[in-house]
Chain A
Amino acid sequence: DTGVSQDPRHKITKRGQNVTFRCDPISEHNRLYWYRQTLGQGPEFLTYFQNEAQLEKSRLLSDRFSAERPKGSFSTLEIQRTEQGDSAMYLCASKLSGNYNEQFFGPGTRLTVL
């Protein structure tokens, strides 16, 4: 399967703990995106990379959130000192740069903060 993969699929943690999620994009895609989706809402943009460069960060991405894509392939999203409000589905997507190319999404990581 050559689609976008995410790990883990589910994560339950206690408030105050740190968590890290991984995304592996489609191999030839140079752009990688992170979104967050809460119940009843559409996905909300968090940040994106072109190769290893982080090009844009949303205001939603507080100082507790950090994302990396060190070699321009897989990416990690870390949340420090988790809060109950961080509970959501975290989605990763990838695409080829250029106009009018669709983003392909992974299955998501569901985070529950107790």
Chain B
Amino acid sequence: DQQVKQNSPSLSVQEGRISILNCDYTNSMFDYFLWYKKYPAEGPTFLISISSIKDKNEDGRFTVFLNKSAKHLSLHIVPSQPGDSAVYFCAASGDTDKLIFGTGTRLQVFP
């Protein structure tokens, strides 16, 4: 069963606009959520995280929102830049510390 889901395989956004990437999870025991960015032939790079005691965390152009009642989180990138084009993975962990990843969303930012 897929405990972390990213239902949009791809997203295309114009440079300067907002990119919104979504993630849903099913396991209510998850208490820490992370977003990673991945370029081809490289390992995932950590972007931003949020613990379950918060509903928002911001770092520069990146903001993550957590809605625990809906078991939903989202990553907002404002303004989007061409260098943001990559695959974005949502991940979650609970008491066992291992990360459970979604299947990823490919973001393309065009001029």
Contact = CB atoms under 8 A, between A and B. Distances in A.
Contacts of A65: none
Nearest to A103: B99
Contacts of A106: 43
A45 B34 contact: no
Given A103-B46, A104-B46, A105-B44, A45 B99 contact: yes
Interface string A5-41: 0100000000000000000000000010101000011
A43 interface: yes
A99 interface: yes
A38 to B, nearest CB: 11
Contacts of A58: 98
Contacts of B96: 56
Given A33-B98, A42-B102, A100 B44 contact: no
B98 A42 contact: no
Contacts of B46: 102-105
Given A43-B44, A103-B46, A104-B46, A31 B101 contact: no
A99 B99 contact: no
B88 to A, nearest CB: 10
A22 to B, nearest CB: 15
Interface string B75-111: 0000000000000010100001111111110000000
A100 B98 contact: no
26 contacts: A4-B43, A6-B43, A33-B99, A35-B99, A42-B4, A42-B101, A42-B102, A43-B44, A43-B89, A43-B101, A48-B97, A56-B96, A56-B97, A58-B98, A93-B43, A100-B49, A100-B51, A102-B34, A102-B46, A103-B46, A104-B46, A105-B43, A105-B44, A105-B45, A106-B43, A107-B43
